[in-house]
Structure 1
Amino acid sequence: MSYGNDEVRWEVVTAFVRLGLARGEKVLLLPCPGVSEAEVLARIDFPSRSTVPARERGQLVLTSMREVIRPDREFTAARQMGRLSEETDRATAEGYTGLRAFIDMGWVAALGADVGAMAHRETHADQLFTGRPYTEICAYDRRRFDRSVVRSMERAHPRALLERIGSLRSERGPDDALHFIGEADTANRAAFTRSLEIALARTTRNRRLTIDLTRLHFLSVGCATGLLSLVRDAAGHDLVEVRCDQVQSGMLRRLGAGAVPRLAAKEVSRSW
């Protein structure tokens, strides 16, 4: 994930920590260096001291990257991943269902680590997860990292979180498909429509476009109607394929998708 203000950061941290505790997992929290333990606890405990029992029994542990790699003083991907693997095994041996870690990447500057070495770790970490009960969020403060680094890390990770519930993101896939992620609701209708317009303009040379709706949590009638209208008027295209789930397919069908000749709705299963 990336964040540009503290409120977003603490919303995600709090949700991630509480979900892990509710699932019986052990949770490691590595906040940004320089943020006091008192502030961390005040943030995740608001409006009550709900995490106190978890800390007392060792289920929630506040730590740092310096502690994780100890006794080494310099960061290496091998040392870090080895220690996290050990902590995962320890968590299951202690009776927890798994381990999850929230790692604020502010540690990179604090330890004077090489950004290239960090990037290599992020793209070669499969061994931490494959067949193992481990979950991790790496958090990048856009006020600390160059935009190019954040974009590179978003591409390197299997998932990039939306900043807030209710957000909408559009991305171009490797096949030039337009992917929508999040919520296409009334508040985001203008952004949804604009992304469609740009994608249609960009793909007139090939005369075809693929639109993927399967990573949307919500598709409003207004956004669905707008999609059908734009496709109906897309005279520069021979085919617009819309990948959708069963519910989305039913909505498009009831709104008249069958009367749009160049539109082909392809029902697929979600990847999550």
Structure 2
Amino acid sequence: MGGLAGEEQHPGTLPVQHMGAGDHAFLCYDGEAPGWDVLAAFVWAGLVRGEKVIVLGPPHLGESEVRARLQEAPGLPAASGWERAQLELSSMRELILPQRRFTADRQWRRIVEETEAARVEGFSGLRAYIDMGWVADLGAGLDMMMDRERRAGHLFTDGFYSEICAYDRRRFPEPVLEAMCRAHPRNLLPRLGQLRCLHGNGTLRVIGEADLATAPRFAEALAALFRDSGASGVVTVDLRRTGFLSAACADELVRRIARAAAGRPVRVRCSAGHALLLRRLGADPARLEVTG
């Protein structure tokens, strides 16, 4: 899948597994249906955290089709969510009832109502997956939709509500997708198992999965970092948005650091789990900045 120009350097790019409470995320996908692995991971994480989860799927898919796809995905059985009324399948048409015409204010009021209901019912949060196919389905204008996306920040201020806005790239003009990518604080990798390496100003940000399949890209990004950073200056490898880090990729990083010029400042920002792996492979603990 070809990427949007704005995606490559979006400062809030992350895998769906790293979405936090209160995040408002952009997802761009290809195909007849959304990235089911991303949707399933979003749903399962919400169920595990005790959140209410609402899925507003593509309008051309019926509830039974969405339910079947979720049940086929690996992870926590979807039935456990439905049985407890924790997982709800809906649509934008249903959400804005009894109104039939979409307005941002009407949608916001309904989301606030759903948020308050989730609090009363004892859920730890509310998360929604909204396929933006509703725009054409309801005959809403793109300008109205874009205005809603840009002014929705108040929904997320207290960290209780989080949302993915999923755009089928075939249904929206490229300039609209670019603008909406920029308008969202978070930009999701379109599939699980992907790796994106953002490189600039002596820092390499490793986003996604550094595993057997993506090891060549990881190695190339490390080589470029140390090659392009010159003979001096701090070199930073940021693993804070890295999911799985394989032993092979971790070893590649440790060896790159060891080959750096003596006394050259190199630091790795990472989780405690990644730090433990790197230390076991011989990384100098002084170079590791543990967060989270």
Q: When the two structures are superposed, what TM-score results if normalisation uses the length of structure 2?
A: 0.70
Radius of gyration: which is bigger?
Answer: 1
Alignment pair present for 1:77 and 2:99: no
1:167-223 CA-to-partner distances (Å, cap 9, x unmatched) read 3222247x6632112222222110101222333444449854322012223323322
Change beyond 3 A, Cα 1:205–1:118: farther
Contact 1:212 / 1:243 at 8 angstroms: preserved in 2?
yes
Number of the residue aligned with 1:62: 89
Contact 1:104 / 1:139 at 8 angstroms: preserved in 2?
yes
Contact 2:236 / 2:268 at 8 angstroms: preserved in 1?
yes
Alignment pair present for 1:28 and 2:28: no
**Is there any run of 5+ residues in structure 1 with no aligned partner, and where?**
none
Change beyond 3 A, Cα 1:14–1:228: closer
Number of the residue aligned with 1:265: 287
Alignment pair present for 1:12 and 2:38: yes
Number of the residue aligned with 1:192: 218
What one-letter code is carried by the residue in structure 2 that aligns with 1:2? C
Q: CA deviation at 1:55?
A: 5.4
What one-letter code is carried by the residue in structure 1 that aligns with 2:66? V
* Structure 2 Cα separation of the partners of residues 57 and 229 of structure 1: 49
Alignment pair present for 1:40 and 2:77: no
What one-letter code is carried by the residue in structure 2 that aligns with 1:13? L
Residue from 134, 141, 160 that aligns with 1:107: 134
Greater RCO, 1 or 2 (C-alpha within 8 Å, sep 6+): 2
* Structure 1 Cα separation of the partners of residues 101 and 270 of structure 2: 47
Contact 2:34 / 2:166 at 8 angstroms: preserved in 1?
no
Give 1:138-157 correspondences, 5 Å limit: 138-147=165-174, 149-157=176-184
Contact 1:8 / 1:163 at 8 angstroms: preserved in 2?
no
Contact 1:32 / 1:106 at 8 angstroms: preserved in 2?
yes
Contact 2:34 / 2:168 at 8 angstroms: preserved in 1?
no
2:170 alignment partner, SS class: coil
1:118-141 CA-to-partner distances (Å, cap 9, x unmatched) read 344334433223335323222222
1:1-47 CA-to-partner distances (Å, cap 9, x unmatched) read 33334576223333434554555543322111211233223223348
Change beyond 3 A, Cα 1:80–1:176: farther
The percentage of aligned residue pairs carrying the same residue is 47
Q: When the two structures are superposed, what TM-score results if normalisation uses the length of structure 1?
A: 0.74
Number of the residue aligned with 2:14: none
1:187 alignment partner, SS class: coil
Q: CA deviation at 1:57?
A: 7.3
**Is there any run of 5+ residues in structure 2 with no aligned partner, and where?**
1-26
Number of the residue aligned with 1:245: 271
